[in-house]
Amino acid sequence: MTDWIRLQAGSDAYQQIQENGLKQQDVGMLLGASGGPKWFVLQGLDQFLFGEFFKDRKQPLDLLGTSAGAWRFASLGQPDSIAASNLFAELYSSQTYSEKPDVNEITDEARALLHKYIPDNVVPKILQQDIFRHHFIAVRCRGLVASERKLQLAGLLTSAVANGVNRKWLGRSFERVLFHHPRSDAAFSNSWNDFKTHKVPLSTDNFKSALLASGSIPMVLHGVKDIPGAPPGIYRDGGITDYHFDIDLGAVNGLVLYPHFHNQVIPGWFDKHIPWRRTLGTQWPKVVLMTPTEEFLARLPFGKIPDRKDFATLSAVDRYKYWQQAIEQGKWLADQLQEWIATDKIREKVRLWQ
């Protein structure tokens, strides 16, 4: 039988799975990356994890995401997580724009999607429950990158050059802001020292603004200004500092499950074209990385996962059809993972991530 999903585990996670298999109570964190519509191939995994896998969860589970990862996880803690996840997938995949949308149009569409996905009356319910603890990352902009005019582009180019020399130099333009569940102390982040990091409790006043900021791509959407409870300023996409993450996860109490659409883990947004900047299992001993196999990708239309370029290269009708097929095919990953966990076959399928 063809393997549709690849499981790679850091040393500690690999040893634990060999001894005990994979049990939901052994998981301490769910990790979700930036990447726009690439997440559609993970929708099936989300459905399995949000529903069947974590249905009997008793202890808190930390959710850490940026951009699309944070938006996906916002289904958890809603009265019906599966229905919310399906709604998000439908709203996202059915977006339409004019022939040449500007920043105003795209920002308005994102705000409208957010309000349909998470009505105001749902936010208190998400924050009052204590099983699924949300943590969103956004960045607070400094200098030129805080501008909403052409100066922003100059600031981004300068940041890219600085990042190319030394990733820590990105901190001259961006500060990481971790918005966290009100009953979480986000202690897993205490050792993060690569960038200045602020911790801000989530509330009914800032939940949706923080989530919007986490996905506010520079030059594509407007930044979010002066989020309640956070330091004043302009906030943008958390993927700038934490695209696929390169953070210390050693303090997480349990395994870290990372459903991911790519076989490479790219630390920050500006690192996409710096091939030697990659996060490896040696750096994340507790992480279980779950990705589609090459065989899975070959069966997708165009032989690739969805991406933002599809908005420009495909008609709205063709794009919707393609993205729906990616969502449907993503269920193969979930079905296979569920079978491997139930039969304990996961012990032989998981590989040591090095």
CA distance 237 to 217: 5
How confident is the model at residue 99, as a pLDDT?
Answer: 85
CB proximity list for 200: less than 8 A, separation 6 or greater:
177, 178, 179, 180, 206, 210, 227, 229, 230
4-47 tens-digit pLDDT = 999 999 999 999 999 999 999 999 999 999 999 999 999 999 99
- Write down the H helix ranges in the chain: 11-20, 43-48, 68-73, 81-93, 103-117, 123-128, 151-165, 207-214, 294-298, 310-313, 316-343, 346-349
How confident is the model at residue 226, as a pLDDT?
Answer: 97
Averaged over 167-171, what is the pLDDT? 96
87: which 2 tokens? 């709604």
20: which 2 tokens? 């005990």
pTM: 0.96
How confident is the model at residue 1, as a pLDDT?
Answer: 79
207-226 tens-digit pLDDT = 999 999 999 999 999 999 99
The packing angle between helices 103-117 and 207-214, to 10°, is 130
The confidence band for 354, taking pLDDT boundaries of 50, 70 and 90, is confident
180: which 2 tokens? 């966290």
CB proximity list for 294: less than 8 A, separation 6 or greater:
none
Full domain range(s) for residue 14: 5-352
Mean pLDDT of the chain: 96
Q: What percent of the chain has pLDDT over 90?
A: 97
pLDDT at 150 over 90: no
Number of domains in the chain: 1
Averaged over 253-258, what is the pLDDT? 97
How confident is the model at residue 288, as a pLDDT?
Answer: 98
CA distances from 209 to 136, 138, 198, 202, 326 (A): 11, 10, 16, 10, 29
CA distance 352 to 262: 17
CA distance 25 to 203: 27
Q: Is the separation of the CB atoms in 131 and 61 below 8 Å?
A: yes
Averaged over 166-170, what is the pLDDT? 96
The confidence band for 344, taking pLDDT boundaries of 50, 70 and 90, is very high
pLDDT at 307 over 90: yes
